[in-house]
Amino acid sequence: MSTVHIHTTVNGDPVDFLSEPHTSLLNVLRDKLDLTGSKEGCGSGDCGACSVMLDGELVCSCLVLAPEAEGRRIETIEGMAQEGQLHPLQQKFLDLGALQCGFCTPGFLVAAKALLERNPDPTEEETRYWLAGNLCRCTGYDKIIRAVMDTAAEMRQERVSA
Amino acid sequence: MTYHAPANVEEAISLLGSQDNAWPVAGGTDLLVQMRSGRIKPGAIVDIKQIARTMGTSAKDGGFVIGAATPCTALLKDDALCKAWPGLVEAANLIGSVQVRNRATIGGNLCNASPAADSVPALIAADARCVIAGPQGEREIAAAELPAGPGRTNLGKGEFLVEIVLPPREAMSSDAYLRSIPRTEMDIAVVGAGVSLSRDKDGVCTQARVALGAVAPTALLVADAGEALVGSQLDDSALAKMEEAVKAACSPIDDKRGTIDYRIAMAAVYTKRAAKIAYDRAGEGA
Ligand SMILES: Cc1cc2nc3c(=O)[nH]c(=O)nc-3n(C[C@H](O)[C@H](O)[C@H](O)COP(=O)(O)OP(=O)(O)OC[C@H]3O[C@@H](n4cnc5c(N)ncnc54)[C@H](O)[C@@H]3O)c2cc1C
Ligand code: FES
Ligand code: FES
Domain ranges of chain A: 4-76, 88-161
Can you tell me the distance from the alpha carbon of B177 to that of B275, in angstroms, rounded to the nearest whole number? 9
* Contact assignment for B102 to A134 by CB distance below 8 Å: no
A53, A60, A104: best to mutate for the B interface, most B CBs within 10 A = A60
The CATH class for the domain spanning A88-161 reads: mainly alpha
The CATH class for the domain spanning B1-47 reads: alpha beta
Which of A105, A110, A131 has the most ligand 3 atoms within 8 A of CB, as the residue to mutate?
A: A105
For A4-76, CATH gives 3.10.20.30
- Kindly list the residues from chain B whose CB atom is less than 8 angstroms away from the CB atom of residue A67: 3, 5, 47
A6, A19, A22: best to mutate for the B interface, most B CBs within 10 A = A22
Nearest to B102 among A57, A62, A70 (CB): A57
Tell me which residue of B192, B275, B185 sits closest to B233, measured CA to CA: B275
Q: Does ipTM come in above 0.85?
A: yes
- Kindly list the residues from chain B whose CB atom is less than 8 angstroms away from the CB atom of residue A70: 5
Can you tell me the distance from the alpha carbon of B101 to that of A59, in angstroms, rounded to the nearest whole number? 8
Domain ranges of chain B: 1-47, 173-283
Q: How high is the pLDDT of residue B182?
A: 84
Contacts of B50 (CB under 8 A, 6+ apart): B5, B6, B7
Can you tell me the distance from the alpha carbon of B96 to that of B78, in angstroms, rounded to the nearest whole number? 21
The CATH architecture that domain B173-283 belongs to is: 2-Layer Sandwich (3.30)
Could you tell me the sign of the dihedral formed by the alpha carbons of B147, B151, B156, B161, in that order?
Answer: positive
* Contact assignment for B35 to A111 by CB distance below 8 Å: no
Per-residue pLDDT of chain A (162 residues; tens, 9 = 90+): 589 999 999 999 999 999 999 999 999 999 999 999 999 999 999 999 999 999 999 999 999 999 999 999 999 999 999 999 999 999 999 999 999 999 999 999 999 999 999 999 999 999 999 999 999 999 999 999 999 999 999 999 988 887
pLDDT tens digits, A114-160: 999 999 999 999 999 999 999 999 999 999 999 999 999 999 998 88
Tell me which residue of B262, B285, B273 sits closest to B210, measured CA to CA: B273
* Contact assignment for B185 to A129 by CB distance below 8 Å: yes
Per-residue pLDDT of chain B (286 residues; tens, 9 = 90+): 999 999 999 999 999 999 889 999 999 999 999 999 999 999 999 999 999 999 999 999 999 999 999 999 999 999 999 999 999 999 999 999 999 999 999 999 999 999 999 999 999 999 999 999 999 999 999 999 999 999 999 999 999 999 999 999 999 999 999 999 888 778 889 999 999 999 999 999 999 999 999 999 999 999 999 999 999 999 999 999 999 999 999 999 998 888 999 999 999 999 999 999 999 999 996 5
